[in-house]
Structure 1
C-alpha cells in the first residue's frame, strides 16, 4: 500500500507542478508581451488559476498519501519532506485569500509599472496598501500566533528567521561600511561612456549568455522593465533591459539572470516537474546568479576578454585598455538603483529594504511613512538624497507583487556565493587563465556538479555546505570584497 500511496502522491504532484509552470508563464507574459489593456483580465485569470492550485495543494488526499507513503531513496525522502512542507503551509491559508492575493498583485504589478514611469507614488499607494494588508493577513495565517514576517520569509528561504538575518547583517555591516569609506576616499574609477546601439548590445548579450551555458533551445531572452528569470525544467526564460548609453546594465543583467536560468536548466532531468526540479531556495538561487555575475563575469580576468569584444563591436571605448575597463565595470558609486549597484554598495541596499519591510509587516511602520523612512535611510547609508520615486521605493517590483520576505535572500545569496567562490578557487587556482579567454566552463561545470544538478534534494544551508565542505559564514564574501576592491582602488 505504501508503494501505491507514494506513486499516487507523486503523480498528483507532477500535475500540480505542471500547472504551476503555466501560472509562471502567465506572469512572464504579463511582464513582456501582454497588451496593457489586458491587466484587469489577467488579474482574474491569475486568481482563477491560483484557486485551482490552492485546492490541489490543500487536497485532503495529500495527508492520507503522506501518512501511508514510504520512501526508499534519498530523492523520495526529499520529495516527501517538501510536499509535506508545502501542504502544511498551503492549508493554513484560506483559498479565498490565496486567490485574492493573486488577483490584487497581478493588477498592482501593472499599476506599479505605470506609476514608476509617471513618478506617481501617491497614486500607487492605495493598491500597495491592499497588497500589504493581504500579505499581513497571509503572514498571520501562516505564523499561527508566531512572527508573521518570519512566516513570509520562510516561504523563500525555508527555516530562516528574521533575527538570524538581522544578526548576519549586523556582522557584515561594519566591514562593508569601512570598505565603502576607504573606496570612496580613493581616486574614482573611470566611467564607460558613449553610444552603444541596442542591436549590438543584445547580440553580445546572447553571445555571453551562451558562453555562460544558457541553452536557448530551452529558453529565450526578452526585454522587461525589471529583468527576471521565469520557469524551470525545459522552459526557462530570462529578460534583460537596454540603455544605449549603458551597455554594462544589459550585459550584466543578462549574466545575472543566466545564473538563475542555468541553475534551473542544469537540474537533473529525472527531477523535472517534481518538487525537486527547481532551485531549493531563493538564497541558493541568488548564489548562482551572483557568482556568475560578480565573481566570474566582473573578475578582472573576464573583463580582459570582454574589453576585446566590446572594442570589436563598438569601436574604441572611453576607457583605454582592459585594466581601466575592469575598473569601470567594477566602479563604486552611490547610485540609487539596487540592480545597478556595485558589489560594495549592494548589500546596503538589501539591509535598507529588509529593515523597512520587516517593520511594515510587523505594524511598526505605517505605509504612509514608508517613503520618508526609505529616503532618510538612503541618505544616511549612501550620502545621497533620493530625487524621485523611481529612484526610491518605486524602483523595485517586489513589494507591488507582494514578495515581502524576499529581499534578504539577495544578501544571503551573496554570502553563499562567497563560500562557493572560495571553494571553487581552491579547486581551480588557475581559473583566471580560463576567464581571460572568455571561458567560464570549468567554473560552470563545478557549480553544476556541486549545486545545480541536485535541485531541491537538500535544504538550503546543507546544499551550500555539501558543495563547499565547510560552514556558511559571511567571512569569505567580505574577504573577497576587501581583496578585490583593495587591488582595484589601490587601498
Structure 2
C-alpha cells in the first residue's frame, strides 16, 4: 500500500466512527429517554476520545510526509486530512473529551431551561461550556485571535474582521429597506388552527416535492430543527406549532436543503473528507436557497396555497397573492428561525457580536441576558418578553457552536449569488415552481454545487457555480427587488 492508500484507509474508519457519534447526537435529540442524558454524555465523551486518538495518530504525519497525490481528488483529500490533523494535534485529548461530555449534558439543561424560561438554571452550565471553548480556541489560535480559531472550524479562511466588514456593508441597506417596508401597510398575518398530524403530512409531501430521498432519510420531531448524517443516511427534523404552520413548513424545507446537499454528493467520495459539505456557509446556502429563493417565491407559494386549501379548507387567506404576502410578511419578531428575510441577517449580526464578546472575555456570562435584551431592543425596537424568546431560543451555545452563527448570513450571501446564476441558467424556473416542480432548481444546484462535496474550497465552489466571486450585492439586490415590489414601495 502507498502512503495515500494508508491515509485513506485510516480516514475511512475515522469517518465511519464519526457517523456513529453523529447518530448518537441525533438519537439524543429525537428518541432518547430523558433519563439517558448522563449516560449519553459518557458515551459521547468515549466516542470523542476514540476519534481524537485517530485524528492525532502520529502515523498520519508520516504518511503525509510521504504522500504523492495523483490527481485533483487526491490533492483535495490530502488538504482536508492535513488540516484536520493540524487542528486536532493542537487540542489536548482530555479537553476534546470533556467538551463532548459537557455539551451533551448541556443540551438537555438548555432545553429544560428554555421550556421553563429559567435563565439562571442554564448560566452555570453555559459558563463551563464557554470556559472550555476558550481553552480550545487558545490551543488552536496559538497566540492569534480566539474567535477566528473557532470560526475556522465552520468556514475555513473566514475571519471576524472580514465577516464584520461584510456585516457593516450590509447593515445600512437592510436597515433602510426595513424602515421603508415597516412604514407601508402590512399584509394580514395567518390565523387559525392547523393540526399536528396534518402539518406533518404536509411537511413530508413538501420534502418529497423538493426531491428528498426517503430511501436514505427520515423525518422526526425536535425542539430545534436540524439535519444529521450524510452519504446513504441523512435525516431531518422539524417542529410543529399548531397556530403557526409556516414554522413547520419552512423548518422542513430548510433542513431538506441541508440534507439534500449531503445526499447529492458524488458517491465516490463516501466516507472520505470529500463526502460531506465543504463548510457551514456553503451548507447554509443550500438550506437558505431552498427555504427562501425557492420556497418563498411567488411561483412556489402560489402552488403551496392550493396545497393548504386541500389540507385545511378555508384557512382565512383569499388568494395566492394574499398567501404570498402572508408568507413574506415583514415584522420584527423575537425568533431567529421564524424571521423574515429582511430581519434575519440582523439577528445573526447581533449574535455574532455577543458571542465574539463572550469568547474574548469582554462580556461576562452573568451579563449576557441584559446585553441580549438591550441589543435586541436597540436593533429591533421591541423589548424581549421572555427568555425563551431571547437568549434561550437557540441551541447553538449549549452545544458549543461558537463561530457558527455568522455562517448563516454567509450562507444567505452565497445563496443570493447562486440564485442569480440559477435563474439565468433556468429561465422558466418561476413557471415550473408555480406547478410545484422544483426539479429545475434542485437539479441545477446538485450539478453545479452539491455533487462536489469537499472537492473545492468554500468560496471557490460558489464562484465555480456562479461564474463570479461571491459578494453580498446579489442578496441585497434580491431582497430590495422582492420586498419593494411586494410592499408597493
TM class by smaller structure: over 0.9
2:268 maps to 1:244: no
Matched residue, 1:152: 150
RMSD over aligned CA atoms reads: 0.6
2:465 maps to 1:467: yes
User: Does structure 2 retain, via aligned residues, the 8 Å contact 1:191–1:319?
Assistant: no
- Residues 276-302 of structure 1, C-alpha deviation per residue, up to 9 Å, x if partnerless? 000000000000000000000100110
User: Number of residues paired by the alignment?
Assistant: 489
Rounded Cα–Cα distance in structure 2 between residues aligned with 1:112 and 1:456: 32
Q: 1:96 aligns with which of 76, 94, 97?
A: 94
Matched residue, 2:440: 442
Rounded Cα–Cα distance in structure 2 between residues aligned with 1:54 and 1:175: 44
- Residues 240-266 of structure 1, C-alpha deviation per residue, up to 9 Å, x if partnerless? 001111111101100000000000000
2:422 maps to 1:419: no
Matched residue, 1:362: 360
2:57 maps to 1:59: yes
Matched residue, 2:398: 400
Matched residue, 2:35: 37
Rounded Cα–Cα distance in structure 1 between residues aligned with 2:482 and 2:144: 42
Where in structure 2 are the equivalents of 1:87-166 lying within 5 Å? Answer: 87-166=85-164
Rounded Cα–Cα distance in structure 2 between residues aligned with 1:154 and 1:197: 42
User: Does structure 2 retain, via aligned residues, the 8 Å contact 1:423–1:468?
Assistant: yes
Rounded Cα–Cα distance in structure 2 between residues aligned with 1:467 and 1:67: 33
Matched residue, 2:276: 278
Q: Which runs of 5+ in 1 are unaligned?
A: none
SS of corresponding position for 1:155: helix
Matched residue, 1:310: 308
Deviation at residue 200 of structure 1 after TM alignment = 1.1
Matched residue, 1:378: 376
Q: 2:295 aligns with which of 294, 297, 308?
A: 297
Matched residue, 1:221: 219
Deviation at residue 48 of structure 1 after TM alignment = 0.5
Rounded Cα–Cα distance in structure 2 between residues aligned with 1:44 and 1:73: 41
Deviation at residue 4 of structure 1 after TM alignment = 1.0
Matched residue, 1:15: 13
- Residues 223-254 of structure 1, C-alpha deviation per residue, up to 9 Å, x if partnerless? 00000000010110000001111111101100
User: Does structure 2 retain, via aligned residues, the 8 Å contact 1:32–1:222?
Assistant: yes
Deviation at residue 485 of structure 1 after TM alignment = 0.5
- Residues 80-108 of structure 1, C-alpha deviation per residue, up to 9 Å, x if partnerless? 00000000000000000000000000000
Deviation at residue 43 of structure 1 after TM alignment = 0.5
- Residues 209-233 of structure 1, C-alpha deviation per residue, up to 9 Å, x if partnerless? 0110110110000000000000010
User: Does structure 2 retain, via aligned residues, the 8 Å contact 1:51–1:99?
Assistant: yes
Rounded Cα–Cα distance in structure 2 between residues aligned with 1:479 and 1:430: 20
Deviation at residue 190 of structure 1 after TM alignment = 1.3
Rounded Cα–Cα distance in structure 2 between residues aligned with 1:53 and 1:232: 18
Deviation at residue 123 of structure 1 after TM alignment = 1.3
SS of corresponding position for 2:291: helix
User: Does structure 2 retain, via aligned residues, the 8 Å contact 1:194–1:318?
Assistant: yes
Rounded Cα–Cα distance in structure 2 between residues aligned with 1:77 and 1:193: 55
Deviation at residue 427 of structure 1 after TM alignment = 1.1
SS of corresponding position for 2:2: helix
TM (norm. structure 2) is 0.99
Rounded Cα–Cα distance in structure 1 between residues aligned with 2:232 and 2:409: 28
- Residues 306-359 of structure 1, C-alpha deviation per residue, up to 9 Å, x if partnerless? 000100110012111000000000011111000000000000000000000011
Deviation at residue 431 of structure 1 after TM alignment = 0.9
SS of corresponding position for 1:37: helix
Rounded Cα–Cα distance in structure 2 between residues aligned with 1:121 and 1:176: 31
Q: Which runs of 5+ in 2 are unaligned?
A: none
Matched residue, 1:484: 482
2:407 maps to 1:409: yes
SS of corresponding position for 2:463: helix
Rounded Cα–Cα distance in structure 1 between residues aligned with 2:120 and 2:190: 35
Deviation at residue 429 of structure 1 after TM alignment = 2.1
Rounded Cα–Cα distance in structure 2 between residues aligned with 1:162 and 1:306: 39
Rounded Cα–Cα distance in structure 1 between residues aligned with 2:367 and 2:236: 35
Rounded Cα–Cα distance in structure 1 between residues aligned with 2:426 and 2:315: 32
2:321 maps to 1:323: yes
2:196 maps to 1:177: no
Matched residue, 2:200: 202
